[in-house]
Amino acid sequence: MKRFAFIISLMALMTINLGAQSKKAKVQQKTQTYDVAAYLYPAYAAGEPRLKPFWPMDRGEWETVMTMQQRNPGHYWDRHPLWGYINEADPAVMEMEIEQATRHGVNVFIFDWYWFDGRPFMETTLTEGFLKATNRDKMKFYLMWANHNVDNSWDTRIGGDNIIWRGGVDREEFEKVCKRNIEMFFKQPNYYKIDGKPVFMIYEVTTFIEGIGGVDKAVDALKWFRQEVKKAGFPDLELQFTMWDNQFNFSGVDDAKTNSKRPRDEFARQLGFNSMSHYQFCHFIWMDDDYQNILDKAYEEWDKLDAEFTIPYYPHISIGWDNSPRFGESAVVKENTPERFEGALRKAKAWVDARPNLHPLITINSWNEWTETSYLQPDDVYGYGYLDAVKKVFLDE
């Protein structure tokens, strides 16, 4: 009961603070010239029946956070959200999050979007929370199709690599997914677009190609997708992919056409991709290191991709990495303070500024990846430090 009263009091104080600063914030939002996009992991929701096999307390992956010390007594990872264990599928909660995000300079959410076993998975944070928030017009959004396999690693009681759902889909299923997304999401007035083109990101290109039946079939399917987007009244599709260190390196998949010597840029363009970004530094950098060393390697990768590809790369910043809540141990980023994160944001801003033809999009991991310890949401370690860093770089200056 005391915990509930504390959360209510906190929300009331936040509301007062928001009202006092509303006039200034409106001016700031009008002058923001960068699209600062934070990935949003939709697992922190209640009332999702398909989440209960993983988290039976019906709190989504908050359960993993809440039970960390119970499962690992005395473990160094002992963090707590200042906003409480909120249900992000609640539109009232999402309204608060949209206010806080936009007030601090985050003006785009990239929703991790899932489709398993012929239907959407973990979609209520988007459909029941975000899209029903009364202030949703303040925030743009787009989808990153998280088309990876699902195994027991989400279930802290079991663990292991038993495959529960596969992320690949065949052509019939792919068409169903695309038609649904065009109607349900692309046509939303606040869906994020570049030059009028709705943006859609694919997380695992390899998994997509394997599911669809090979490279030629993948090319044909993506051409069909683009045509459907145009039929819906848009000028075109902005098709993105998530870059990994091994992206477009297929072993045993249409081997004659996808050997590792083939230029990645050529392959990406053949498939029809228009742009790329990263999702997490851990996809191409070993994370058990000092944050500044990791950032230096990331900056080198930005320049490398910019030189290698003819399609644009949008710079990405990860806040950190520590997967201990899920597995009890993990590679851990050291000294990833808000001040260092602020420096990384300045680097990304300058990188975009140096490329005047590049759309001013910067991606961040993430809004709420608590179990990977890479989140903007305030906690009892740094408070609002990471959000304030975004605000300093993209609003205050």
* pLDDT at position 250: 55
pLDDT-derived band at 156 (thresholds 50, 70, 90) equals: low
- Write the single-letter amino acid at 101: A
The pLDDT value recorded for residue 13 is 45
For residue 358, is pLDDT > 80? yes
| 172 Cβ contact list (under 8 Å, min separation 6) | none
Q: Look at residue 162 in the predicted model and tell me its pLDDT.
A: 75
Q: What is the pLDDT of residue 29?
A: 42
Phi/psi for 117 (5° steps) reads 60, 40
pLDDT of residue 24: 43
Q: How confident is the model at residue 122 (pLDDT cuts 50, 70, 90)?
A: very high
Query: What is the widest separation between alpha-carbon atoms in the chain?
Result: 64
Instruction: Give the per-residue pLDDT at 361.
Output: 98
Domain ranges of the chain: 1-31, 34-396
pLDDT, tens only, 43-67? 999 998 888 888 999 999 999 999 9
Q: What is the CATH superfamily name and number for domain 34-396?
A: Glycosidases (3.20.20.80)
Annotate 42-109 with DSSP letters as a single string. Answer: TT--SS-GGGTTT-TTSSTTHHHHHTHHHHSTT-S----BTT-S--TTSHHHHHHHHHHHHHTT--EE
Q: Is the pLDDT of residue 129 over 70?
A: yes
Q: Model pTM? A: 0.90
Helix (H) or strand (E) holding 202: strand 197-202
User: CA-CA distance, 40 to 108, in Å (whole number)?
Assistant: 10
Q: Which of 58, 109, 106, 111 is nearest to 85 (CA)?
A: 58
Share of the chain above pLDDT 70, in %: 86
Model confidence band, residue 149 (pLDDT cutoffs 50, 70, 90) = confident
Tell me what pLDDT residue 153 has.
Answer: 66
User: What average pLDDT does the segment 131-139 reach?
Assistant: 98
What pLDDT is recorded for position 252? 45
Percent of the chain having pLDDT more than 90?
79
pLDDT value at 36 more than 90: yes
pLDDT tens for 307-339 read 999 999 999 999 999 999 999 999 999 999 999
C-beta separation of 44 from 115 below 8 A: no
Question: In the prediction, which pLDDT does 159 show?
Answer: 61
Comparison of pLDDT for 167 and 104, the residue scoring more: 104
pLDDT (0 to 100) of residue 266: 93
Mean pLDDT along residues 365-382: 98
Q: What contacts 24+ positions apart, CB below 8 Å, involve 198-201?
A: 198/142, 198/229, 198/234, 198/237, 198/238, 199/142, 199/238, 199/240, 200/142, 200/143, 200/145, 200/237, 200/238, 200/239, 200/240, 201/110, 201/142, 201/143, 201/144, 201/145, 201/240, 201/241, 201/242, 201/277
Q: Reply yes or no on whether the pLDDT at 4 is more than 50.
A: no
Q: What is the mean pLDDT of residues 125-133?
A: 98
Q: How far apart are CA 79 and CA 94, in angstroms?
A: 22
Can you say whether residue 108 is alpha, beta or left, with left for phi > 0 and alpha for psi between -120 and 50 degrees? beta
**What is the pLDDT at residue 273?**
98
* Mean model confidence pLDDT for the chain: 90
What are the b/e assignments for 62-89, b being 16+ CB within 10 Å? bbbbebbeeebeeeebeeebebbbbbbb
Q: How far apart are CA 268 and CA 249, in angstroms?
A: 11
Of the listed ranges 136-140, 165-169, 277-281, the least confidently predicted one is 165-169
